[in-house]
Chain A
Amino acid sequence: MSTQTGHIDAAGKKMGMWFFLFTEILFFGGMFLLYSIFRYKYAQDFHNAAAEENIVLGTVNTAILLTSSLCIALSISAIRRGERFFSSWLQLVTIVMGVAFLVIKYFEWMAKIDIGIYPDSPVLLKMGGGQTLFFGLYYVMTGLHGLHVLVGCVVIAFMMHFTMKQTINRGNVARLENTGLYWHFVDIVWIYLYPLFYLIT
Chain B
Amino acid sequence: MVQMSESPGEASFYARTGRYRWAIAEWMMSTDHKRIGVMYLGAILSFFSVGVVLGFLIRLSLLDPGWLMGAQTYNEFFTVHGVIQIFLFIIPGIPVAFGNIFLPILIGAQDVAFPRINRLSWWLYVTGALIVLLSLFIKGSPPDTGWTFYAPYSIRTPANISTAVLGVFVLGFSSILTGLNFVTTIHRMRAPGMRWFRMPAFPWTLYATGWVQMLATPVLAITLLFIVLGRFFGVGFFDPSKGGDPILYEHLFWMYSHPAVYIMVLPAMGIISEIVPVFSRRALFGYVAVCMSALGIAIVGYAVWGHHMFTSGMSDTARVIFSFITFLVAVPSGVKIFNWVATLYKGSISLDAPLLFACSFIFTFSIGGLTGLIIGSLAPNLHLHGTYFIVGHFHYVMFGGAGISILAGLHYWFPKITGRMYSERYARIGWLNFFVGFHILYFSMFVLGFQGMPRRYFDYPPQYHTGHAVSTMGSWFLALGLVIIFGNLLYGIFRGQRAPANPWGGKTLEWTIPSPPPPENFREIPVITRGAYHYEDEEVREAP
Please state if B234 and A120 are interface contacts (CB–CB under 8 Å): yes
- Interface assignment of B235: CB less than 8 Å from any CB of chain A: yes
B226 contact set on A, CB distance < 8 A: 34, 140
B117 contact set on A, CB distance < 8 A: 16
B92 → chain A closest CB, angstroms: 16
B229 → chain A closest CB, angstroms: 6
With CB as the reference atom, state the residue of chain B lying closest to A120.
Answer: B234
- Interface assignment of A129: CB less than 8 Å from any CB of chain B: yes
A12 → chain B closest CB, angstroms: 4
Q: Which residues of chain B from 180 to 211 have a CB within 8 Å of any chain A CB? A: 180-181, 183-184, 187-192, 194
With CB as the reference atom, state the residue of chain B lying closest to A143.
Answer: B229
Give complex CA distance A27, B109 in Å: 31
With CB as the reference atom, state the residue of chain B lying closest to A33.
Answer: B252
Interface window among B59-67, B240-248, B480-488: B240-248
A21 → chain B closest CB, angstroms: 10
- Interface assignment of B145: CB less than 8 Å from any CB of chain A: no
State whether A23 and B217 are in contact (beta carbons under 8 Å apart), knowing that A2-B189, A15-B188, A34-B248 are contacts in the complex.
yes
B181 contact set on A, CB distance < 8 A: 16
Please state if B233 and A119 are interface contacts (CB–CB under 8 Å): yes
Q: Which residues of chain B from 140 to 189 have a CB within 8 Å of any chain A CB? A: 176, 180-181, 183-184, 187-189
* Chain A proximity mask over B216-235: 1 for CB below 8 Å, otherwise 0: 11110111011001000111
- Interface assignment of B236: CB less than 8 Å from any CB of chain A: yes
With CB as the reference atom, state the residue of chain B lying closest to A125.
Answer: B242
State whether A120 and B243 are in contact (beta carbons under 8 Å apart), knowing that A2-B188, A12-B113, A12-B187 are contacts in the complex.
no
With CB as the reference atom, state the residue of chain B lying closest to A15.
Answer: B184
Give complex CA distance A94, B219 in Å: 30
Q: How many residues of B contact A (CB 8 A)?
A: 42
B183 contact set on A, CB distance < 8 A: 19
A130 → chain B closest CB, angstroms: 6
- Interface assignment of A194: CB less than 8 Å from any CB of chain B: no
Please state if A5 and B188 are interface contacts (CB–CB under 8 Å): no
A34 contact set on B, CB distance < 8 A: 226, 237, 248, 252
Q: Which residues of chain A from 1 to 41 have a CB within 8 Å of any chain B CB? A: 1-5, 9, 11-12, 15-16, 19-20, 22-24, 26-31, 33-34, 37-38, 41
Please state if B188 and A11 are interface contacts (CB–CB under 8 Å): yes
Give complex CA distance A30, B188 in Å: 30
Give complex CA distance A4, B110 in Å: 7
Please state if A120 and B235 are interface contacts (CB–CB under 8 Å): yes
A3 contact set on B, CB distance < 8 A: 188-189
- Interface assignment of B136: CB less than 8 Å from any CB of chain A: no
State whether A9 and B242 are in contact (beta carbons under 8 Å apart), knowing that A16-B180, A120-B234, A132-B236 are contacts in the complex.
no
B210 → chain A closest CB, angstroms: 9
- Interface assignment of B114: CB less than 8 Å from any CB of chain A: yes
Please state if A133 and B237 are interface contacts (CB–CB under 8 Å): yes
Please state if B242 and A132 are interface contacts (CB–CB under 8 Å): yes
Give complex CA distance A133, B242 in Å: 7
Give complex CA distance A30, B253 in Å: 10
Please state if A22 and B215 are interface contacts (CB–CB under 8 Å): yes
* Chain B proximity mask over A125-144: 1 for CB below 8 Å, otherwise 0: 10011101100110110001
State whether A27 and B214 are in contact (beta carbons under 8 Å apart), knowing that A20-B180, A133-B237, A139-B235 are contacts in the complex.
no
Query: Of B189, B191, B223, which is within 8 A of A30 by CB?
Result: B223
Give complex CA distance A9, B226 in Å: 38
- Interface assignment of B76: CB less than 8 Å from any CB of chain A: no
- Interface assignment of A185: CB less than 8 Å from any CB of chain B: no
- Interface assignment of A109: CB less than 8 Å from any CB of chain B: no
State whether A29 and B219 are in contact (beta carbons under 8 Å apart), knowing that A5-B110, A22-B214 are contacts in the complex.
yes
- Interface assignment of B525: CB less than 8 Å from any CB of chain A: yes
- Interface assignment of A162: CB less than 8 Å from any CB of chain B: no
- Interface assignment of B111: CB less than 8 Å from any CB of chain A: yes
Q: Which residues of chain A from 25 to 63 have a CB within 8 Å of any chain B CB? A: 26-31, 33-34, 37-38, 41-42
B180 contact set on A, CB distance < 8 A: 16, 19-20, 23
Give complex CA distance A137, B244 in Å: 11
Please state if B188 and A42 are interface contacts (CB–CB under 8 Å): no
A18 → chain B closest CB, angstroms: 9
A97 → chain B closest CB, angstroms: 27
State whether A140 and B235 are in contact (beta carbons under 8 Å apart), knowing that A2-B190, A12-B184, A132-B243 are contacts in the complex.
yes
A96 → chain B closest CB, angstroms: 29
Query: Of B176, B184, B189, B236, which is within 8 A of A23 by CB?
Result: B176
B219 contact set on A, CB distance < 8 A: 26-27, 29-30
B525 → chain A closest CB, angstroms: 6
A125 → chain B closest CB, angstroms: 7
Please state if B233 and A16 are interface contacts (CB–CB under 8 Å): no
A167 → chain B closest CB, angstroms: 15
A15 contact set on B, CB distance < 8 A: 184, 187-188
Please state if B218 and A128 are interface contacts (CB–CB under 8 Å): no
With CB as the reference atom, state the residue of chain A lying closest to B217.
Answer: A23
A27 contact set on B, CB distance < 8 A: 218-219, 221-222
Cβ contacts A to B, 6 pairs, < 8 Å: A2-B192, A12-B184, A12-B187, A15-B187, A16-B117, A125-B242
Q: Which 10 A-B pairs have the closest CB atoms?
A: A129-B243, A120-B234, A30-B222, A27-B218, A26-B218, A12-B188, A136-B235, A119-B235, A19-B180, A16-B184
Q: Knowing that A15-B187, A24-B218 touch, tell me 6 more A-B residue pairs with CB under 8 angstroms.
A: A2-B191, A22-B214, A27-B221, A34-B237, A37-B245, A136-B236
